[in-house]
Amino acid sequence: MTTGFIYCQKVQNMFTHTTALDSPDLDALLNAFPEEFVKISPKEQAMAIALYRLLALGESVSHQHLAEVSSTPVAEVHRLLGQWLGVYHDDAENVTGFWGLALGEMPHKLLIDGRELYAWCAWDTLFLPALIGNTVQVISQCTQSGKEIQLIIDPEHIASVYPETTVLSFVMPDENGIREDVINSFCHSVLFFATSELGEQWVAEHPENFLISVENAFELAQMINHRKFPGLMTQYRNGVS
């Protein structure tokens, strides 16, 4: 058993659906993420931000276009996209999804300047606006009741949440699971609920999970963004063309 896994298990044991919702230790959560999830080189940071912003325009992204926009040799783009986790391509080898953002339909709809995109999990909807440098309207639903949930998230703030009682379920990331299949191992456990009571019903059947408020989940998202992309979010604030 790896040291990282033991640490994640200790952090997991710190949280119940009550304590995490009321007073989560966000630093402990942040430090439980695998290092490769939160630390990449400056070159990779620039290319990742460019890829997010190109995908946010609503069309698949060719390696050549990404190379041009990110000022990266195309051979290096080929290498990194083949090496990175969480990259999805279509049959033409154009990128259609990248770490939380997708062109294909998924449960969490994102409206960006009238364009429809999708997020892999509820938490993705909170960290993506800062990375794409744009306000996002989120349309999702409560996993337990089916009630529609709507949020408006800008790069630095939560503009609105409906219903106001909305919470998220969360689970500590498993390093091996993320490498093998991040969507099944993590995203399928990070969901929206219209109230904490509805979330508690679901968590009772999924005890490895806990609840976290939208506000705390957003703060954790910003912490992850700033650790993974220090200084670059401001540089790319105006997006790509």
**For residue 128, what is the domain's CATH number?**
3.30.450.410
pLDDT tens-place string over residues 195-231 = 999 999 999 999 999 999 999 999 999 999 999 998 7
Range of the domain at 171: 3-233
Q: Is residue 148 part of a domain?
A: yes
Kindly state whether residue 238 falls inside one of the protein's structural domains: no
User: Is position 23 within any domain?
Assistant: yes
| 27 noted as active-site residue | no
Q: How far apart are CA 155 and CA 217, in angstroms?
A: 14
25 is catalytic: no
Q: How many CB atoms lie within 10 A of CB 41?
A: 9
- 83-96 per-position pLDDT tens digit: 988 899 999 999 99
Would you state the pLDDT for residue 22? 61
- Selecting among 8, 142, 174, 187, the annotated active-site residue is 187
Catalytic site residue 121?
A: yes
Cα 54 versus chain centre, distance: 17
Instruction: Identify the H or E element spanning 111.
Output: strand 108-112
What pTM was estimated for this model as a whole? 0.86
Pick the catalytic residue from 90, 91, 121, 142: 121
Overall number of domains in the chain: 1
Per the CB < 8 A criterion, the answer to whether 128 and 110 are in contact is: yes
